[in-house]
């Protein structure tokens, strides 16, 4: 009797940049570019479509927290000159935005594999339903 292997956790494999199927091969070919296929198990990474989700999460959470909280705190607490902000705040904001990009992208790609998500398709001949009453704008 053949048992199917347990699916690997997207959090464990994705954050480390490993293949979502085998957990052995590497997911990335550079800093952010996905490999075409896994060198260990041959999984085709064509299913992956993280789009701009990674940048969205980083900008919404990391950048806003760091930029607003840290930079505002430095400004309010110390009132330094502009060059202090450039030397202190700018590197903190850049590190907070760049460092989480790769682990987040790995997690998003591995989550797509884990949950078997696919790109949505609109059937041919599909007509969107009317959302407003015809002629309602002529009041």
DSSP of 64-82, one letter per residue? Answer: HIIIIIIIHHHHHHH---H
State the total domains in the chain: 1
pLDDT at 4 over 70: no
Token pair recorded at residue 113: 């594999």
Question: Which structural domain range is residue 78 located in?
Answer: 10-114
Buried b (16+ CB within 10 A) or exposed e, 80-105: eeeeeeeeebeeebeebbeebbbebb
CA separation, residue 119 to residues 35, 124, 126 (Å): 19, 15, 17
Task: Place 112 in a pLDDT band, splitting at 50, 70 and 90.
Answer: very high
Q: Output Rg (C-alpha) for the chain, integer angstroms.
A: 22
- Mean pLDDT for all residues in the chain: 85
87 falls within a domain: yes
Please check whether residue 131 lies inside any domain of the structure: no
| pTM of structure | 0.76
**Once rounded to an integer, what is the mean pLDDT over residues 79-89?**
89
Would you say residue 96 lies in a domain?
yes
């Amino acid at each position: 009797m053949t048992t199917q292997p347990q699916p690997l956790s997207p959090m464990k494999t994705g954050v480390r940049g490993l293949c979502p199927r085998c957990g052995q091969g590497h997911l990335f070919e550079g800093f952010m570019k996905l490999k075409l296929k896994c060198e260990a198990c041959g999984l085709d990474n064509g299913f992956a479509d993280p789009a701009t989700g990674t940048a969205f999460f980083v900008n919404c959470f990391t950048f806003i927290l760091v930029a607003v909280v840290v930079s505002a705190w430095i400004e309010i607490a110390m009132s330094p000159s502009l060059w202090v902000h450039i030397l202190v705040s700018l590197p903190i904001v850049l590190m907070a935005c760049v460092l989480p990009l790769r682990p987040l992208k790995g997690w998003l790609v591995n989550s797509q594999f884990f949950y078997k998500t696919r790109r949505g398709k609109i059937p041919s001949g599909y007509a969107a339903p009317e959302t407003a009453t015809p002629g309602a704008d002529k009041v």
